[in-house]
Amino acid sequence: MIRAGVIGASGKMGGLIIQNIARSEGIELSSAYDLNKIGEDAGDVAGAGSLGVSIASVEDLGEVLKESKTNVLIDFTIAAATASNAPIVAASGVNLIIGTTGFSEEQKEAIEESILKNGVSAVIAPNYAVGVNVFFKIIEEAAKYLPDYDIEVIEAHHNRKQDAPSGTAMKAAEVIGKAVGREEYIFGRQGNAPRKNEIGIHAIRGGDIAGDHTILFAGEGERIEIKHQAHSRDAFAAGAVKAAIWLKDKKSGIYSMEDILGL
């Protein structure tokens, strides 16, 4: 049985992850952490029913990880928090599922270094939805056949998302850029028209949009649009739990959703 911890347990994503753990086989909630609702049952807070696991303070992360015998921690919080907590988790010998986005290069390098130095395993991905990772593969193949087309990435999320553009949009641009040999990205069009050979990336924030990503390939007389739409955040939570189960017994290293899905 995989013993999983969830950080950010009182938030929306944390709650969805706990719900998915509660209804999945081969995995159970062993610990939960947050800055709020400390001492309350994590299952009750998540709407999954009592699970007998109290929410602990993030300040006690290392101690509770060891006491609870947690062997994988799922983190979908914010960049600053993950950058601070991931080294503690790795030093505790606990594997990581990281869905946080918006890291600086320095934060990303420090997290990866702590994982490798402590000999644990991790899955780090900007998006855990199965469909969006197939989407990455589709746009990569399409780009190979449309290298001279103008390419724009448009993404939309809810008005509380911490980073812009999304990690998924950046990953999509990087996948396409690698396929067509373009490394210049611009964000928005103000002051950048007419366009040149860059890939444009545009962010929309509003309402409760779970996550829309559209890739526009525009040529002379025609265009192709490839889109992925998340109907709810449950797709991300389900993918994260799938990743936690997949990571069991994997050798030390950093993996992606492409590894999990065989892409």
Q: Which tens digits make up the pLDDT trace of 104-151? A: 999 999 999 999 999 999 999 999 999 999 999 999 999 999 999 999
- Which helix (H) or strand (E) segment holds residue 29: the answer is strand 27-34
Residues 91 and 1 in one domain: yes
**pLDDT tops 90 at residue 249:** no
- CATH code at position 86: 3.40.50.720
Task: Report whether 91 belongs to an annotated binding site.
Answer: no
Residues 69 and 139 in one domain: no
**pLDDT tops 90 at residue 263:** no
Residues 105 and 188 in one domain: no
Residues 236 and 109 in one domain: yes
Task: List pLDDT tens digits, range 180-217.
Answer: 999 899 999 899 889 999 999 999 999 999 999 999 99
Tell me how far apart the alpha carbons of residues 261 and 194 are, in angstroms, rounded to a whole number: 39
Tell me how far apart the alpha carbons of residues 100 and 208 are, in angstroms, rounded to a whole number: 19
Residues 223 and 235 in one domain: no
Task: Report whether 262 belongs to an annotated binding site.
Answer: no
Please report, rounded to a whole number, the percentage of residues in the chain having pLDDT higher than 70: 100
Active-site residue list: 157, 161
Tell me how far apart the alpha carbons of residues 127 and 161 are, in angstroms, rounded to a whole number: 14
**Domain range for 32:** 1-123+231-259
Domain count within the chain: 2
Task: Report whether 114 belongs to an annotated binding site.
Answer: no
Say what the pTM is.
0.87
- CATH code at position 155: 3.30.360.10
Tell me how far apart the alpha carbons of residues 108 and 204 are, in angstroms, rounded to a whole number: 25
